[in-house]
A and B are shown apart, each in its own frame.
Chain A
């Protein structure tokens, strides 16, 4: 560490609909900045090497692992975390409620990441097969639920948003 020069940089971005700026250490990951500077504690530190998806956030509408993303790369981006899905009085969004209803949560550590990937899937407005949904969700690990209920939560919300009945399983 002796020869390390502490380097800071100011980043300007939009977080959950609000423009913001912060001066951050260039060594920070996006997870570090969101958790430490913004108290967005839905962004979990799981593996921190891109394997588990617990740190997933939406950047310009797409899912990224914030643990392998430099905080300074946030410059000019629109970033969304789970906190941004809540209504004005803390109401759960439809996809969060579906995770509750389908018992797709046990310890909850993987849940924010899964929900954000689900948001990207749902916002595409497309109808996906089970096989496609499994592939779209495959960047997340869950050590508790066995995935079936998670898949069902995403699927029921997809059909609800599309205004179509859910096909019989």
Chain B
């Protein structure tokens, strides 16, 4: 038995919003792989829960008329990895979430939960930052859209307002088109481990594949919330593809990141793996994009 005080189950988004307003103290539960574990640990003991697990309308990936990729907030990690639209347009996200926990966790854990928990090590987050994802929130006044960088307020805290739930993650076409990306999760074990550092890079090359038109890099666990390293991005934009560029790009990430010491790894070590991972992920992205080194 879980130590919960009451359970309210929403059947539609509108019901979920109404339940949020009626029970402002209640916590939302989606897949429960954070919430139920924390309840067992006593951190959320005795709370009321609003379950949105039954909202099938929030499951799945689709493409909107303008080419925006829409990922419903309840879409599980294993669903994202298998999804044909993701494989075609945003393979790096499928690759990243395929490194969460183990198979059973990937069947229950949702992308909404992975972003609403505000956790810097969340394996989906760095890729979503690197693609300037938009978070869609639905509340009593309708739908609100917010860039993911503004959605994160501080460690463990996101901008969810009264009565709101997160309903989708959106990736605009001009962000993902003609890009190729790679994610590196640095952890002590291959499975069932939290990232010591997560690095997501993507590049868009010119038609002749000789120039980097745009490069993006974002990290998890390089600061209290996931973050982009824009100095590195600027250093690569418009530059000819080369091994030297990979080095310049990777060294430049140091200007933007601020990892800390923790029992998992020391700050210096995180700095070191951030540079090395940025370089490797950049080189792999360039290769995937057809660039010659």
Contact in complex: B103, A139 (CB < 8 Å): yes
Is residue B102 within 8 Å, beta carbon to beta carbon, of the partner chain?
A: yes
Contact in complex: B7, A63 (CB < 8 Å): no
CA distance A68 to B53 in the complex (A): 13
Is residue A72 within 8 Å, beta carbon to beta carbon, of the partner chain?
A: yes
Chain A residues contacting B108 (CB-CB under 8 Å) are 64-65, 68-69
Chain A residues contacting B78 (CB-CB under 8 Å) are 62
CA distance A72 to B7 in the complex (A): 10
Instruction: Decide: A70 near B5, CB < 8 A? Known: A63-B104, A138-B103, A138-B190.
Output: no
Contact in complex: A28, B1 (CB < 8 Å): yes
CA distance A48 to B38 in the complex (A): 11
Chain A residues contacting B263 (CB-CB under 8 Å) are none
Query: Which residues, 1 to 43 on B, are CB-close (under 8 Å) to A?
Result: 1-7, 9, 29, 32-33, 36-37, 40-41
Chain B residues contacting A70 (CB-CB under 8 Å) are 2, 7, 29, 32, 36, 51, 53
CA distance A138 to B187 in the complex (A): 15
Chain A residues contacting B103 (CB-CB under 8 Å) are 63, 117, 135-136, 138-139
**Tally of contacts, chain A with chain B, CB under 8 A:** 89
Is residue A86 within 8 Å, beta carbon to beta carbon, of the partner chain?
A: no
Instruction: Decide: A73 near B40, CB < 8 A? Known: A3-B5, A68-B108, A139-B191.
Output: no
How far apart are A150's CB and chain B's nearest CB, in angstroms? 14
How far apart are A31's CB and chain B's nearest CB, in angstroms? 10
**A29 in complex: contacting residue of B1, B41, B53, B190, CB < 8 Å:** B1
Instruction: Decide: A27 near B4, CB < 8 A? Known: A56-B104, A65-B105.
Output: yes
Chain A residues contacting B40 (CB-CB under 8 Å) are 48-49
Closest residue of A by beta carbon distance from B191: A138
CA distance A50 to B192 in the complex (A): 10
Query: What is the number of residues of chain B that contact chain A, defined by CB distance less than 8 Å?
Result: 30
Chain B CB within 10 Å, residue with most, of A27, A64, A136:
A27
Chain A residues contacting B234 (CB-CB under 8 Å) are none
Chain B residues contacting A139 (CB-CB under 8 Å) are 101-105, 191-192
CA distance A29 to B7 in the complex (A): 13
Is residue A7 within 8 Å, beta carbon to beta carbon, of the partner chain?
A: yes
Chain A residues contacting B51 (CB-CB under 8 Å) are 70, 72-73
Chain A residues contacting B54 (CB-CB under 8 Å) are 73, 75
Contact in complex: B105, A50 (CB < 8 Å): yes
Contact in complex: B107, A50 (CB < 8 Å): no
**A69 in complex: contacting residue of B1, B6, B32, CB < 8 Å:** B32
Chain A residues contacting B46 (CB-CB under 8 Å) are 4
Chain B residues contacting A26 (CB-CB under 8 Å) are 4, 6-7
How far apart are B109's CB and chain A's nearest CB, in angstroms? 9
